[in-house]
Structure 1
Amino acid sequence: MNIRTKLTCQKLFAEFLCSLIFGFAVYSAVLNTKASENPAPSTAVGLTVAFSSIALIYTFCDHCASHFNPAITIAALVTGKLDLALGIGYVIAQLLGFFIASLLAVLCFPYGYSKTLDLITPGAVVYSAVLNTKASENPAPSTAVGLTVAFSSIALIYTFCDHCASHFNPAITIAALVTGKLDLALGIGYVIAQLLGFFIASLLAVLCFPYGYSKTLDLITPGAVSDEISDHNIFWAEFILSFILVFVAFEVGINAVREPGVTLFVGETQIDRSKFAPLTIGSTLGFLAFLASSTSGGAFNPGIVFGPSIAGGNFEYFWQFVVAELCGGLLGGLVQVFLLFK
């Protein structure tokens, strides 16, 4: 297989993965949005679409068109702005991505195959009406949570990037260790530092809120949002969210620089996008915070699980979260390093 063919395959795979992630974000937002007799646009859905679009376009723009929308691709084809064969390939990749995203939504939500697909399938009226319905009785996610996660991440990465890796997530650090992107001793030190940080953070939460030691730790310990959520719903939700986060972190930060010996972009000058990596990763964290509000609650960080679980001695869902996050994160790193390397 020559370089041109490999590059085309990489472009198609990138467009597929981009569409899959965006589709999963939209479908999850649909399933998390509150039902109403007079539906109004949910700000959580709008923020999910906005943050995910920013993050995905920036993450994948070096690999593919980053359309994740057949309407855009077909318009580019018709107007002669895109090669015919590549454009057709993009459309097929996009449709396949959205198809698989719908199946992943079935895995992550407790409503069953038919009901889940019915809820995320646009009806005969307007697609926006679908985005304002939901199956769960749980309220729509607080936009404050997603915005807090997004803006704090952007600020912290920019603040600490000159001093450390700024991962603040063992799933990212361990994936970097396994793929050889981080020194072993330093990586282990980072993980220990992260876990200690989250543990102390959970104790500080006890000091700052009036609910008492046990209740505060119970409230901040990740777990099933309702009794109808199964272990496999939690596992797959955390697995997929961690995959997305670590993949983006590798693509725009950890493994963003091309390696001359293996790159497919021979002779092409690489644009330095490092200044915007914190914005991309922060936007990713922002939209991920909205996606599992009615299933696992959306932790996608073993440190967040570790802190209050250790402090409060509550390990009911500990392993479902940690194993899913580490496995999903590792797969995200491996996919970026070996399939979408630059």
Structure 2
Amino acid sequence: MLGCVIHGEGDLRVAELPSPQPGPGQVLVDVRYGGVCGSDLHYWRHGGVGDFRLREPMVLGHEVVGTAVTGPLAGLPVAVHPATPCGVCPECADGRANVCRDTRYLGSAARFPHVQGGFAARLAVPAGQLRPLPEGLGLRRAALAEPLSVALHAVRRAGAVAGKHVLVTGAGPIGCLVVAALRAAGAAHVTVTDLLPEALRYAAVAGAGTVVRADDPADSGWPAEVDVAIEASGVAAGLDTCLRLVRRGGVVVQLGMLPPGRSPFAGNLVVSREIELRGAFRFDGEFDEALELLSREPAFDGLISAVVPVRKAEEAFRLAADRSMSCKVLLDFES
């Protein structure tokens, strides 16, 4: 079967891989679509993401959907929850499995040996990680479930957003899905900033009320202040913008993964304005919520900018890395 394996910085290979043999409690899934995530791009371009560095070849991918081959869901379309938390650490016991200290996450170099990912034509995963698709939800749109879950978790970390003005910095795929999640949660107005006009166009498709060029201080769309800010760009300048525009006593959620090492930020504002700065990492129960939301909202289709055959994976990665040309790019494992 074909799979996408990263061997190091800039070294992505589409290779023939052995078909997996399911272990105890595992089921087989024929993968149809896999979404190219920002972390996949970081492994490809930089050999790591954040503090997680490649130390061996790794199959990429954690945004995968397909058809169950074995188990009680055999023959049904399914989405794959990419995390297998340990269930016994203090974080799991506290209901925060998304920050489990011993989790296994598809296509992640956070531990060694690395957890091989889902960018392969067939995948063996624990049966508990499969979710049957809600009625009316096709596999193509369902491929957004994992990144939408990330967005939903970030909005949950922000607290009550209904009726509030929310700023989102960064209009990549995750930022756009944060916009959609905010609108679903009842936010009164969402302002989005980015450097690229095309990215801002996708933010508008997702439901942004105002879009602003981040490099244009004279843009009339800049708000005087906002109630909540979610930083989705993964750059220190985005966090600085959030801290300067959120109201006193407001909440800032850092969702974008900042570069490894130290990142400067306006800590004096956190103190003098009593701003609450919260991190948001992955998700847990939001996965089921994401599938339900996707089944109700066909507008999400507008965020899928391209579907590329797996044999052209590097072309797909180049397209996904060019935010002036794309939003969410999917690999098709049946093409």
The TM-score normalised by the length of structure 2 is 0.26
Q: Which has the higher contact order (CA 8 A, sep 6+)?
A: 1
Higher helix share: 1
